[in-house]
Structure 1
């Protein structure tokens, strides 16, 4: 297993438990790490880039005096996902919170994109989080409980190609799991933000000028709301009133209109 725990700080530290965060070196993942560290959680941080992992680990350890374990894994691959699932299942230094955040977007429409890219996109947004949740629910249930946050999107409530379809699966599964596994002390929350100022849209080459100013959220606000809703045991977290209203309207409006509006985020 490719893991590298930093040495314990000489500062006194009472852990709030260990949180494992995928896609931990940028965007919402990095913000989850920062806010969880500030709360006193030890961390297992997961991403593909070892250099960035080490940089994030060193910063968080120095700033918050927590233990940070580095786990290099490509969540698109079966081997990478299995490595992370095995860490979740480990009995020593158990994981009490899982944040499924790893993912990427595709700019084109389904038929124009390369099929291998679409399948990789599907794996990282559905197969990987389901695999990690399977491991987490079994491990957490045996220990009396835990928390899972799945980063989804308001796109889950709109017709918007394979991305919205993948996120809809995660939202629906989270809603069910939050109820079904409550008696095991496990809460499962789907986080459904709108447009967030992170690297996500830059990496997919999206035209951000087409997104209205009111549509942007900040990562600190999104993560703060997600953690509060997770603590409250909510199955779905929708940051900001404006996106709650947008989702309500999307459920009533014709698909053709909603698809045309949602397409502006491409």
Structure 2
């Protein structure tokens, strides 16, 4: 099992969904967790309690609007003062679907800012410290849409393809830092397909409406188009993969984009 005692992890967007599931896995392995997200005090406190109950020796909520570089700087300074991040999971993301010709320009700007530019700013702040300590893990939650495209998702697809490319550049630049004994520095993407999270609910609801309001039928119809397994992933499964990537044994797994997509990208 991966032992993360003495490590600090920053997981963006970790008050719910995939981010919280990843944070829970890291917490159970002994990591201190810097929780982040857009949340009221009650939601933030609930996430912190969940992670403490999972086994984290310390968890704390940090605010920061990831569409604003100045707030990202403030977030990284606050986390650094609490404990420099050995593990960064760039998970926070937003989504809106519309045909290219109808996509508002401000939506493009917002999605690129949160889903791509924020990861750049966070990695730029965190990676030098990781290199100085000889251990670091950056796990960027991309998407199957970082590997293949779909209609009506121009900014989301562009951001996720960009995130995969950014991760590969960073992986190359830091590949020689550290060694097997310290764990080295790795940068990888996880690319989920259809996963049971809030971000897909608008698409599920729209498809369910076409099926007379039957949510299960709407999900089945969505999966039938893309995901050969015909099964949604659970966020905990993404968390288990993220935890494995943090292990010392994964020191030579870097620059990858690992799909968890039921065969979607194998087609």
Moved over 6 A (4+): none
Q: Is the Cα contact below 8 Å between 1:225 and 1:237 reproduced in 2? A: no
Secondary structure in 1 matching 2:83: coil
Q: Is the Cα contact below 8 Å between 1:98 and 1:148 reproduced in 2? A: yes
What RMSD in Å do the two structures reach over aligned CA positions? 2.4
Q: Which consecutive residues of structure 1, in runs of 5 or more, have no partner in the other structure?
A: 1-13, 250-266
Structure 1 residue 242 displacement after superposition? 3.2
* Separation of aligned partners in 2, 1:141 and 1:87: 20
2:95 to 81, 99, 105: 105
Partner in structure 2 of residue 247 of structure 1: 265
How many residue pairs get aligned? The number is 234
Q: Which consecutive residues of structure 2, in runs of 5 or more, have no partner in the other structure?
A: 178-183, 208-217, 225-229
1:67-88: per-residue Cα shift (whole Å, max 9, x none)?
A: 0121011212233222223235
Partner in structure 1 of residue 171 of structure 2: 178
Residues 172-211 of structure 1 aligned to structure 2 (within 5 Å): 172-184=165-177, 185-202=184-201, 207=206, 209=218, 210-211=221-222
Q: Is the Cα contact below 8 Å between 2:190 and 2:258 reproduced in 1? A: yes
Q: Is the Cα contact below 8 Å between 2:193 and 2:233 reproduced in 1? A: yes
* Separation of aligned partners in 2, 1:83 and 1:204: 34
Partner in structure 1 of residue 255 of structure 2: 235
1:215-248: per-residue Cα shift (whole Å, max 9, x none)?
A: 52111112212332453224325344733xx324
Structure 1 residue 55 displacement after superposition? 1.3
1:216 to 229, 232, 236: 232
1:39-68: per-residue Cα shift (whole Å, max 9, x none)?
A: 111110111214211111123224425201
* Separation of aligned partners in 1, 2:193 and 2:54: 30
- Normalising by structure 2, we get a TM-score of 0.79
Q: Which moved more, 1:203-212 or 1:217-226?
A: 203-212
* Separation of aligned partners in 2, 1:227 and 1:80: 28
* Separation of aligned partners in 1, 2:102 and 2:10: 35
* Separation of aligned partners in 2, 1:92 and 1:63: 20
- Normalising by structure 1, we get a TM-score of 0.79
